[in-house]
Amino acid sequence: MVRPCGLLAGRPGGGHDWAVVAPVFSLVSTLRAAGIATGSGHQIPAGVLYSLLLLAHVGSAVVGFGTICATGLQAGRARRGPSGPKAGAVRRYFRPGPNFAARALYGVPVFGFALIAASGGAFDASDTFVVAGLLMWLVATAVAEVVVWPGERRIQAVVSGEWNLDEGFRRDCRFVATSAVCLAAVFLVAVVVMVSQP
C-alpha cells in the first residue's frame, strides 16, 4: 500500500500542501540569515538535469523521513487502543502491506551520488558534508530497517486484527514512535549539514 503525503497527492483543484516542506524552507532561511548556511564556496551547478536531480534528492528525503514521522505519530495513537481518538485513522494507516512511501529513503543516496556526477566537478564524494550526510543516512536506514519497519509490521498485524493492548504491542508502538522522533532529528541535522556544506 502506498501512502502518499499531502505534497505529492495535492488538493482538490490542483493546489499542493506546501505546509509539509515549509518548516524546512523556514529553517534554511533562518540559517542563511544567521550566517550559518554560507556554504563551502562551491559554485552551485546550473542546468535542468542538476535541478531535477536535486529535486529528486530532496523529495526522496522529505517523503521518506516524512512518512517515517507519520508512522511514529500513528504508532503513538495506536497505543490508546481501538476506543482512542483517531482509531479509524490508525486502522487505515496500519492496513497490512509494505509502506512503500517510507522506502523513498533509499532514493536519497542514489540521487545524491547522481548530483555529484552531474555537478561537473563542483562537488566530490569526499567532501565533508557528503560523507556526513551518507553516515547520517546509514544510521537512519539502519534504525528504519531494524526498529521502525519491523515494529510497523507487528503493529499492522495487531491493529488489523483484535487490537489487543498487550505489553508487546505497547512496546512496539513506543519504540516506533521514539525512533521516528530520533529520525526526525537526524533529518533536521542533515538539512543543516547539506545547506551549510561544512
pLDDT greater than 80 at residue 17: no
For 65-113, what is each residue's pLDDT tens digit?
Answer: 999 999 999 999 999 999 988 999 999 999 999 999 999 999 999 999 9
pLDDT greater than 60 at residue 57: yes
The domain ranges of the chain are 47-196
- The one-character DSSP state at 123 is S
Q: Which amino acid is at 45?
A: P
For residue 23, the model assigns a pLDDT of 56
Spatial separation of the C-alpha atoms in residues 85 and 106, rounded to whole Å? 33
Spatial separation of the C-alpha atoms in residues 46 and 192, rounded to whole Å? 22
For 107-164, what is each residue's pLDDT tens digit?
Answer: 999 999 999 999 988 899 999 999 999 999 999 999 999 999 999 999 999 999 989 8
Spatial separation of the C-alpha atoms in residues 6 and 135, rounded to whole Å? 29
Per-position DSSP letters for 35-79, written without gaps between them = T----SS-----SHHHHHHHHHHHHHHHHHHHHHHHHHHHHHHHT
Tell me the three cell numbers of residue 9: 497527492
For residue 4, the model assigns a pLDDT of 40
Instruction: Determine contact, residues 155/73, Cβ cutoff 8 Å.
Output: no
